[in-house]
Structure 1
Amino acid sequence: MTKLTQTSSLHTHLCFLLFLLLLLISHANSQSLQDQEQAVLLKLKSYLQSPPFLSHWIPSTSNTSHCSWRPEITCTNNSVTGLSLVDTNITLSVPPFICDLKNLTLIDLSYNYFPGEFPKALYNCSKLEYLDLSQNHFVGKIPDDIDSLPRLQYLSLAGNNFSGDIPAAIGRLHELRNLQLFMNEFNGSVPPEIGNLSNLEDLNLSYNIKLVPWNMPSNFTQLKNLKTLWIRESNLTGQLPGTLGEMAALEELDLAKNSLNGTIPSGLLLLKNLSIIYLFKNRLSGDIPQVVEALNLKVIDLSDNRLTGPIPKDYGKLTKLTGLALFYNGFSGEIPASIGRLPKLIDFKVYDNNLTGTLPPDFGRYSELGGFEISGNRLTGKLPDHLCYLGKLVGLVAHENNLTGELPSSLGNCTSLVIVKVYDNGLSGNIPSGMWTATNLSQVLMNKNSFTGELPEKMSWNLSRLEIRDNRFSGKIPTGVSSWTNLKVFDAGNNLFNGTIPQELTALPSLMILSLDQNQLTGFLPSEIIPWKSLNTLNFSRNQLSGPIPEKLGLLPVLTELDLSENQLSGQIPALLGRLNLNRFNLSSNHLSGKIPFELENPAYDRSFLDNQGLCAINSSEKLSICNSEPRKSSKISSKYLALILTFGILLSFLALSLSFFMVRAYWKRNGSDSYWKLTSFQRLNFTVSKILSGLTESNMIGSGGSGKVYRVPVNCTGDVVAVKKIWKDKLEEKLEKEFLAEVKILSSIRHANIVKLMCCISKDNSKLLVYEYSENRSVDRWLHRRNRPSNLSRSVHHVALDWPKRLHIAVGAARGLCYMHHDCVPPVVHRDVKSSNILLDSDFNAKIADFGLAKMLVKQGELATMSAVAGSSGYIAPEWAHTIRVNEKIDVYSFGVVLLELTTGREAIDGDEHTSLAEWAWRLAQEDNPLANALDQDIKEPCYLDEMCSVFKLGIYCTKKIPSARPSMKDVLQILLRCNHPVVHIEKNEYVAAPLLKNSKREQILEDCDGGLVTNV
């Protein structure tokens, strides 16, 4: 018994010793593995030349481990299983020793500049499950032996330059669940073997526009687990497989912008999980099948096809539907009433079809309706009463129908309203009073109806277009029109307005078109009209106006159309009118007399002076009598009196100026003493505070805006000039105070040749002054857009002064400034209000970014910053501001893209078409495969500049992508602009050679063919 006990005890001791030995061996192996992995990682750091973002990769001590080197390293059981080097500007090739990390299951190298072919060294990562090489510079074919990574579940090669065929070997990666191959240079075929990936859940082949035309393989429908199928704009042709409806798990389907034809398979709308369908811009035809089971649908976009028949009534069962777009088709019949009751519907777009009948009355009653676009149909009856019942309606676009009745009363309390377009209908009644003052209301187009009532004294400050021609509006033009400061188009012709034309109408500085013809207006024309510096068209014809034609009409710098016909005007035609370059000119049927100015004796104006009995011409004219050339005595006498009057007037003016000077000087001595002001300088100054204060006169004012007035102030006898922004209120508004402090903070902390230099700030309790270097040529928009260009320049001089080389020079300079703000400032700065009027030009047309009142400093580069409110300028605002206030520097990239479109097209930011801004118009132009050269500014387009202009135009489109992450960085934008004029390829041995204008930071290709297509917006 004792011996047995001893034997048992010995056995126990041996087992314990064996356990300790195994534990020691395991620990030694584990320690050896950790040492090996750390050595590999430090070798990787050295290979990458020890970049700053890896500064925390320091050899570990007894208390630390390389597993703490986050976020680049992920460990499981103290072994490296994940390596993530995302968006770190790596330009070297993938290191061949990367798979010395034996347990890697995840490698993410996306958003870098890795060159060369697919790195086959990754085949040594035998446990790899997740591989992301997207958004790099890889070239060549995807290897035919890609199935050497059999455990892959996620594979993304998107946003590269891979070419050739997509290899059939991908179909042998049987574990694959997510396959991303979008946006490459594939110019071969798509293998049907992809349909063998039975576990696949997400497949994206979009934006591969160079693929040979291909039909969707029928075995794709065997992908029973597929949830997302995106093949947008990838040369997909033919009919959709009838078995598409067998993909039971499908949730999102995007096959837009291909060349599909035939009908939509009825089985597609049997899918219970389907939530998004994008099939727009194909060649699909026939009727839409009924919806039976697809009750999870949230978005349906079948626009721009050849679909016909009625809108299925079953669409009213889609209780989760938020967007329905059926525009640009041939749908007929009535809109099902049940669609108006959908509880989630936000956007409803069915314009340009053949729809008839009345509108469902419940639109807007049960959902937060935002967009309601039904124009270009044959609809009748009333507009739904509840369109803005929940206060979210942004746009009502219902023009060119047969609608009757009054506008919905809910528009009277619709603060969200931006656009109302109901022209060319049979609508009547008064306008809901509250509609006019909706804060965001920008465009009201209601021509050709039977509306009545009077215009209010107060309207939305944001209103830019008011077109109410061919109605029955009456009463006087309100004197409150002077507060409509952003109005650009005012067309109220053929109404019943009476009374005089108010002088206040001339106070609108942005007005481009003014038409009050065919009314009952009386009295004289306004005499003081100098503020109309943007006016292009003036039409007061067919009224009862009397008195003389104001001489100052001849001083309007951009006036090209003038019609004062069929009135009771009298007196002579002012000689200054001869200075105008008029395309349309009519003074007929008045009581004018005397000589026609010599410059207007043009055959093109032969009918412009008819039915004026007292008019005569110096030269022979069939329409007018010849003037008597013998001078009359009375004219000599008149000249003497005129000389006396002028002399007396000059003396009076001199006395008034002298008196004003002494009064102003006394005021400054009393209230403007330097001692009351605090001066904070940021540069060496050659002027005093009193010199600045004395220069803040109306004669020196050169501009004004939401944050104050700007003055041009001479500061010494040598001709030095500064620009002074004045924010001067009895009680400084909190918003202006914040903008002032923001601008001081930004400009006092940064220095760059392409950012306006802040010299000092001068302040006291209720007054704030910012003093900048003066930019002789003012802002880009004054040169670029005809209505804003300097008034002392003729049209020809204007365009010579801002030819394409100067515009490209301006684009490069502005990009340098923004690039410095985003990439070189610590912390980075986001401007938030980039636009052509905030880019100033010095005497050599060097661009300088200005107006930092909305700028914010980002806490950390690349980190989202939360803004307090949506700000910015119409036409330049990035779309993400509509649904989030968390934005980053990509909003500046979007706005700068709009500026590039302005520079190449000559259009303004809001000048797209009736449905779109400039950015949206440019996207649509490219999507419709129109020659891009047709969009360029005809005044400067020359063959030698065509390629450059097209490249910059396309860069502008890329910058205005809807998804922020898809936009390039300003660093990449600058690089592309610099290459535009010098597309030289530098060849270095053993290095990948990048062609000019290749890719931006997210590697989308800027196509080289000016007349070619363009990657669509996502």
Structure 2
Amino acid sequence: MSKTHQSLSSIPSSLLLLCILISLPFQVISQSTEQSILLKLKDQWGNPPSIHSWNSSSLPCDWPEVNCTNGAVTGIFLSQKNITEKIPETVCYLSSLAELDLAWNFIPGEFPDSLYNCSKLQVLDLSQNYFVGRIPNDIDRMSSLRYLDLGGNNFSGDIPAEIGRLPELQTLRLYQNFFNGSVPSEIGNLSNLEIFDMPFNGNLVPAQIPADFGKLKKLKRLWMKQTNLIGQIPESFSGLLSLETLDLARNNLEGKIPGGLFLLKNLSELFLFHNKLSGEIPSTVEALNLVQIDLSMNNLSGLIPQDFGKLKNLTILNLFSNQLTGGIPESLGLIPELKNFRVFMNQLNGTLPPELGLHSELEAFEVSENQLSGSLPEHLCSSGLLQGAIAFSNNLSGELPKGLGNCGSLRTLQVYNNHFSGEVPQGLWTGLNLSSLMLSNNLFSGQLPSSNLALNLSRLEISNNRFSGEIPFQVSSWESLVVFKASGNLFSGKIPIELTSLSQLNTLLLDGNRLSGELPSRIISWGSLDTLNLSRNELSGHIPAAIGSLPDLLYLDLSGNQFSGEIPAEFGHLRLNSLNLSSNKLSGKIPDVFANRAYEDSFLNNSNLCAGTPILNLPRCYTNISDSHKLSSEVLAMILVLSIAVSLVTVLLTFFIVRDYQRRKRGQDLATWKLTSFHHRLDFTEFIVLANLTDNNLIGSGGSGKVYQVSTNCPGEFVAVKRIWNTSKLDERLEKEFIAEVEILGTIRHSNIVKLLCCISSENSKLLVYEYMVNQSLDKWLHGKKRRLASGMGVVHHVVLDWPTRLQIAIGAAQGLCYMHHDCSPPIIHRDVKSSNILLDSEFKARIADFGLAKILAKDGDLTMSAIAGSFGYMAPEYAYTTKINEKIDVYSFGVVLLELTTGREPNSGDEHTSLAEWAWRVYSEGKTITDMLDEEITKPCYLEEMATVLKLGLICTSTLPSTRPSMKEVLHILRGYGPSEGFEVKKMGSDFDVSPLLSSATYLSSYKRSKKVDDSLVYSV
């Protein structure tokens, strides 16, 4: 035995074991210890199945959610793991932990103080959770932080100034919370800060941008969209030497855009920052870093600075929806990287930069709703990448650039309401990707092409121009056409039968032309048509009976032609909202379904028409010639004299009896009633109203009273009377509702808000008299059939509202709410927006009703409530935890109405335990297609895009965080892009290819914590 072996054998076994352990790799011991820590952490979180890879049979460095450096755990990444418990202090037992990512979970509670023990923590991401309360004032104890993301939570209070004491911080993200203080100027002390994101914090106190932000020399991205900023953009921003993205959209900034904002003028600052400049320093140095600028939706005024043209890396310039004046600098046409140029809705004048698109790969060009003149730039599509050119509602003139005709990428061209002339470039009729071509209200001439028409064109609007010639039979190749508006032109010849083969066609307007001949007697594929206007032409012959078989037709106008013969009996199957057959040569009896006052003007100037009833201004129809001569003149005269005598005696007796009764009754009752009128002329008295409050006239009943239909002094005209419950002492709550309704409806006037004619009150009872809405409430049309079926009642003649009508209703209701929120001073919150409070007139135009819960906002834009009020399924979630509310609760409720219109579901019937909004979010988050959610009764291929868009808009409106919901003005803007506004003219703004200027951030959706699959596609597709 060697000496070595002898020496080993003499060592005690326990000491030998210790030596062996010491000789083992340190990493194995470390990982074993950290494995125990992490398994304990997993247990404290309730062992979520999503981190099943954490087990005792493997080491932490092999787990996919763990990063290691030199065998020690340095990073934990548990984003989207369905963690629902608080963060235990165990996590900081990992002595080398530098990165902790717990984003997109359900972690509750306040900011965890236990994280202060993670002494080496550099990256902390707690975004998209349920954290509440304040960010602690001693946050600066985490002095090693380089990355801090607390966005998408429910943090409130002030943003602590101590954040400005985190010297290593490079990224700070505080977006989408409930902060109600101000943005601390101390953030300007973060000398290493590169990313500062805090958009969608609309509850912040109105404040100016801190001038100290100009000291952030390394800042690359400043994102402060919708943070209640006021005042001017600081001149100190010229010190942001590294800035690449500046987004200050949707605030209340005012004043001019500083002319030298993005130029470096202080050369000493430049030298100190780079420390490596050599050679000659130029007198003016251009800031070449800026890539994106978004100052849209503010109140900025003055000129667009010439210096913008010197930003050589600029790709996005959004200045739309401001008060900018003057011309667009020609230098903007020289920017080599410019892709998106949006300056619509300003007061700009002058001509457009002629070189726009020549030097860059321009994709979006939007200058609509200004006062621009001259022609469109010739080179807009020189790169071949332009998707949209939108320049409607200006004073532009000349011919369209020929380059647009060769632009294969173009998806939409909207230049209506200008003074363009000449012929349309041939390529625009044949573009493979073109989906909408909107040229109405110009001076264009020429003819429609006879071959190679655009296959994907869905919207063609060329009304009120000088187009001539025949409509070619090749229009049958426009298989995707949904809207064809060609009113007020010089088209002649016959209407080709091939036009009736367009199965997707929804709207066809050819009125005010010179079309002649007979209509095609056979209609091939107009199954989706809901609007047909052929008026003011020279059409003749019989009206085809096939028109009466169109299942979706709502608007039909054939007036001002030479049609003859009878009205087809098949017209009786139509359910028209509007019919006009006047000024023709029609004869015979009108279908009985039209024998009511709704169609009183539909048959004027047709001398040979008659009606089966005397309701309309038409002669009475007789079954045979002898009907009118059956009785001799002597017999008729005798009957007439006897009838008059009997009637006279009866009237006199009734008069004296009723007069005496009324005198006694009025003396007792009318003295106690007071009528307050809100309109100059009323066609009724309080006596007429009171006498007709009978059960026979009852049309509705609710929590606050009954509603009656009362006839006025004008035959066939009615008013609706809401009677607050008659008790010995009027309930205090009902009294407040009555006062609120009178105060608000008595002063506001809008075509989409129900008209309050007068109020009639006594000591114990209140009456509110409104204009009568013949089609009652929206919820009866959407859900009445289902409720009657559920109760076992039969359904007779239930008509399903088609999509165009639903869209018209949505637009009307949005117009009413937009008026209340944005045009009333101070703004008015309805607080009970729901489908039963949206009433419909004879043409299905919407009126907002029932203002018993409405409130007028305070000067600070918030309303302090002492109690919750509203309807289940429509109430915004913030009602449960805050006493201050604003207009966004109406936006939420209107979002539910949009979901009702698109899905057909009731607001409280998502499923067993959820509301409609919660159901819609959950279904969307599960990855199901939007089509699966749409109402099967009305879904048609031609409506899919519009219905899907409105459904997505409903989702965004029902976002959990109020600050992420759009305003009603923005909601209305999007809805108008897909449907008719006043005058039945479509106003569309980029919705065919991009509506992201209004809803440009996926963080609109990030507040909905139940949704883990929501991404940018929802927002950007809207």
Evaluate the alpha carbon distance shift between residue 1016 and residue 116 of structure 1 in structure 2; reply closer, same or farther with a 3 A threshold: farther
Is the partner of 2:262 in helix, strand or coil? helix
Are the structure 2 counterparts of residues 337 and 625 from structure 1 closer, same or farther at C-alpha, using a change threshold of 3 Å? same
Q: Is the 8 A contact 2:251 2:297 kept in 1?
A: no
Q: 1:304 to 1:482 in 2, by over 3 A?
A: same
CA contact (8 A) 1:172 1:197 kept: yes
1:685 matched residue in structure 2: none
- For residues 544-586 of structure 1, the C-alpha deviation after alignment (integer angstroms, 9 at most, x for no partner) is 2211122233333333332222222211222333444444433
SS at match of 1:179: strand
Aligned-partner Cα distance in 2 for 1:531–1:146: 68
- C-alpha distance 187-376 of structure 1, shift in aligned 2 (>3 A): closer
Structure 2 partner of 1:596: 590
What SS does the corresponding residue of 2:547 show, helix, strand or coil? helix
Contact 2:303 2:325 in 1 (8 A): yes
> Can you give the 5+ residue segments of structure 2 that lack an aligned partner in the other structure?
1-17, 267-282, 628-798, 808-841, 845-899, 977-994
What is the DSSP-based 3-state SS (H/G/I as helix, E as strand, rest coil) of the residue aligned with 2:380? coil
1:462 maps onto 2:456 in alignment: yes
Could you tell me how far apart the structure 1 residues matched to 2:1015 and 2:130 are? 7
Aligned residue runs from structure 1 range 159-308, under 5 A: 159-266=152-259, 268-271=261-264, 293-308=286-301
Structure 2 partner of 1:357: 350
Contact (CA 8 Å) 2:298, 2:321: kept in 1 or not? yes
Deviations 1:385-408 (A, max 9, x none): 322222212112222233333222
Separation in 1, partners of 2:245, 2:967: 24
CA displacement 1:892-937 (0-9 Å, x = unmatched):
xxx6x854557999xxxxxxxxxxxxx99x9999533559899999
State the partner residue of 1:36.
Answer: 33
Q: How does 1:872-911 map to 2 (within 5 A)?
A: 874=945, 899=951, 901=953
Helix, strand or coil at the partner of 1:315:
helix
SS at match of 1:268: coil
Q: Tell me the residue number matched to 1:78.
A: 71
Q: Distance in 1 between matches of 2:539 and 2:155?
A: 71
2: CA distance between counterparts of 1:379 and 1:487?
A: 31
The counterpart of 1:89, out of the listed 51, 58, 82, is 82
2:314 to 318, 321, 325: 321
Superposition CA RMSD, Å: 4.7
Gap change, CA 1:328 and 1:494, over 3 Å in 2: same
Equivalent of residue 804 in structure 1, options 892, 906, 913: 906
For 1:622 and 1:309, the matched residues in 2 are separated by 59
1:487 shift after superposition: 1.8
Give the letter for the 1:205 counterpart: M
Q: In 2 relative to 1, CA 386–179 (structure 1 residues): closer, same or farther, beyond 3 Å?
A: closer
Q: Within 5 Å, give how 1:968-979 maps onto structure 2.
A: 972-973=1010-1011
> In the alignment, which of 114, 118, 125 is matched to residue 125 of structure 1?
118
Question: Among residues 361, 364, 372, which one is paired with 1:368 in the alignment?
Answer: 361
Q: TM-score scaled by structure 1?
A: 0.61
The CA distance in 1 between the partners of 2:97 and 2:357, in whole Å, is 54
> Which residue of 908, 931, 951 corresponds with 1:835?
931
Q: Give the distance between the partners of 1:610 and 1:924, measured in 2 at CA.
A: 54
Q: Which residue of 2 aligns with 1:518?
A: 512
The 3 A distance-change label for structure 1 pair 591 and 460 is same
Picking from 411, 421, 424, the partner of 2:414 is: 421
Name the structure 2 match of 1:577: 571
Which of 776, 785, 804 is the aligned partner of 2:803?
785
Does structure 1 retain, via aligned residues, the 8 Å contact 2:30–2:71? no
Q: Which residue of 1 aligns with 2:134?
A: 141
Structure 1: distance between partners of 2:917 and 2:182: 43
Residue in 1 that maps onto 2:966: 927
Render the CA deviation track for 1:966-1012: whole Å, top value 9, x for unaligned: 74699925xxxxxxxxxxxxxxxxxxxxxxxxxx78899xxxxxxxx
1:94 offset after TM fit, Å? Answer: 1.4
**C-alpha deviation, 1:472, in angstroms:** 2.1
Change (3 A) 1:460 1:402: same
Distance 1:800 1:30 in 2: 59
What is the distance in 1 between the residues matched to 2:303 and 2:195? Answer: 33
Q: Which residue does 2:388 correspond to in 1?
A: 395
Equivalent positions of 1:339-738 (< 5 A) are: 339-457=332-450, 458-529=452-523, 531-619=525-613, 624-631=618-625
The superposition leaves residues 510-552 of structure 1 with CA deviations (integer Å, 9 ceiling, x where unpaired) of: 3222222222222212222373333222222222221112223
In structure 2, the CA distance between the partners of 1:807 and 1:473, relative to structure 1 (3 Å rule), is farther
Distance 1:76 1:104 in 2: 10
Q: Give distance in 1, aligned partners of 2:260 and 2:970.
A: 38
Is the CA contact (8 Å cut-off) linking 1:300 and 1:325 kept in structure 2? Answer: yes
Give the Cα separation in 1 of the matches to 2:390 and 2:508: 23
User: Of the two structures, which has the highest relative contact order with CA contacts closer than 8 Å and spacing of 6 or more?
Assistant: 2
Alpha-carbon separation, structure 2, partners of 1:112 and 1:244: 37
**Closer, same or farther in 2 for the Cα pair 1:100/1:363, shift >3 Å?**
closer
Aligned in 2, Cα 1:25/1:484: closer, same or farther, shift over 3 Å?
same
The 3-state SS of whatever aligns with 1:75 is: strand
The one-letter code matched in structure 2 to 1:553 is I
Whole-angstrom distance in 1 between the partners of 2:393 and 2:39: 70
CA contact (8 A) 1:965 1:1002 kept: no
Shift of 1:73: 2.5
Match for 1:630: what amino acid? N
Q: Write the distance in 2 (CA, Å) between the matches of 1:788 and 1:530.
A: 26
The amino acid across from 2:200 in the alignment is Y
Percentage of identical aligned residues = 48
SS in 2 for 1:441: coil
TM-score (norm 2): 0.61
Q: Is the contact between residue 67 and residue 78 of structure 1 (CA under 8 Å) also seen in structure 2?
A: no
CA gap 1:349/1:123 in 2 versus in 1, 3 angstroms: closer
In the alignment, structure 1 residue 106 sits paired with structure 2 residue 202: no
Q: State how far apart, in whole Å, the 2-side matches of 1:297 and 1:206 are.
A: 19
Contact 2:105 2:1009 in 1 (8 A): no
Q: Mark the CA change 1:201 to 1:100 in structure 2 (over 3 Å): closer, same or farther.
A: same
- Maintained 8 Å contact 1:182/1:207: yes
Gaps of 5+ in 1: 1-20, 274-289, 634-780, 824-829, 852-871, 877-894, 906-918, 938-956, 974-999, 1005-1014
Contact 1:321 1:342 in 2 (8 A): yes
Amino acid at match of 1:597: P
Q: 1:413 to 1:312 in 2, by over 3 A?
A: same
Stretch of structure 1 that moved more, 86-95 or 801-810: 801-810
Equivalent position of 2:643 in the other structure: none
Q: Which residue does the alignment assign to 1:745?
A: none
Alpha carbons 1:272, 1:296 under 8 Å: kept: no
1:155 is matched with: 148
| 2:312 alignment partner, SS class | coil
